[in-house]
Structure 1
């Protein structure tokens, strides 16, 4: 428990690919001195290891078996969160386009989701966690004291990804927008834990807004929710 923010809650931030969830969640956690859990990175780590071991994205049994025996850790680093898979640093490898193209299929696997959800709930058990993903408020942490559904227009999300790729992106902006639209559809239509806004989640559209604005808004909401929890405890 920290002295500035004594009442700890869990904050769930859901939304589609490229909405800024990871950046916003990390900054909110830093401001509140909470633990940041990037669930997308966990699914990407499973996807990367599956590709490296020759396990196809549609191999349900192979993926489930892999996830069950895979040790994934999220550690703080000077330049952001470090992702370890069986002790190996895979932080850079999980952000390739090859991983991005397969992660929706891998994350739709029942065995993979079950194991990752189990690990994520353990991380949040002590409270004081900011967790982002696609089913945190609806499935992983349905009792989170604050739930946010963060979105942005497909074009804006594609533009952000395009800029992240640097001077030689190897893909056009239109192609990225098509890929994002496809991933939105796959995430929303999957049978297991689909992308949905929780009924009690606050919708925040980040289109045309700065990261700082969004972070300030969610921090204020988090402090208000924590005060409510504190009043009940007292």
Structure 2
């Protein structure tokens, strides 16, 4: 994607930083990516960074219960995060791990890494650096800004973002979405197979970050009864209302 060709970009003016938090299955990754594309800005999937760190540790034979070993491994992890919303790849030590980090193996193990406070400190440092870089003219977005999403972006990583949004949904809706994503259907068996993974991840991560209730100044968007396009529009509406910026225009409209 070239942000220079997006008709919505010229109206943005100064760099726009959008922070989006939410629980598993809320749709934050797909929606944030789409919003970034429509605004012509960069996109940062911070959850993928924790998954990449988990992949790196497992491939190096690091015991995930050994917090010190995990944090040492993550500090030297050669991570390159793609920030193009059209193709946000993830590379570790030159290997494209975009698909590998979405496997059940990683989903089951990631909480052990994501709840490591030293790891969180290191990855937050990288996240802030990525956000700050997109305020500069020589960046991917040309200084237009970024949409960053994850667990504690609105409160810890980018509390000064122009728009801060908590994207949430009912447990039923979140489980159905994740089952559809992982198993290709959202029947009773698929939802049951996904339940532990989703709820346990949220429970574990809630010990180190708050993403179920909006903090002061954070706007909640409940997507329980919204489809994908409606959720994207709801987020764009918040950005316009809160940040005083015009919505991105979908070229297909």
TM-score (normalised: structure 2): 0.81
Alignment partner of 1:183 out of 170, 185, 201:
201
CA RMSD of aligned residues (A): 2.2
Alignment partner of 1:154 out of 171, 174, 177:
171
Q: Which runs of 5+ in 1 are unaligned?
A: 229-234
Q: Which sits farther off after the overlay, 4-13 or 94-103?
A: 4-13
Describe the SS at the equivalent of 1:158. Answer: helix
Equivalent pair of 2:43/2:147 in contact (CA under 8 Å):
yes
Q: How many residues align?
A: 225
Shift of 1:56: 2.3
Partner of 1:173: 191
d(CA) in 2 for partners of 1:156, 1:21: 13
Partner of 1:145: 162
d(CA) in 2 for partners of 1:119, 1:20: 23
Describe the SS at the equivalent of 2:217. Answer: coil
d(CA) in 2 for partners of 1:161, 1:101: 14
d(CA) in 2 for partners of 1:167, 1:186: 26
d(CA) in 2 for partners of 1:99, 1:120: 21
d(CA) in 1 for partners of 2:84, 2:129: 21
When residues 31 and 66 of structure 1 are mapped into structure 2, their CA distance, relative to the original with a 3 A threshold, is same
Alignment partner of 1:3 out of 5, 10, 18:
10
Partner of 1:108: 115
Deviation per residue, 1:77-115 (Å, 9 max, x gap):
796311011221101100001101111221111221111
Deviation per residue, 1:121-145 (Å, 9 max, x gap):
0111143110000000111111111
Partner of 1:210: 227
Shift of 1:57: 2.2
Partner of 2:216: 199
Q: Which sits farther off after the overlay, 72-81 or 96-105?
A: 72-81
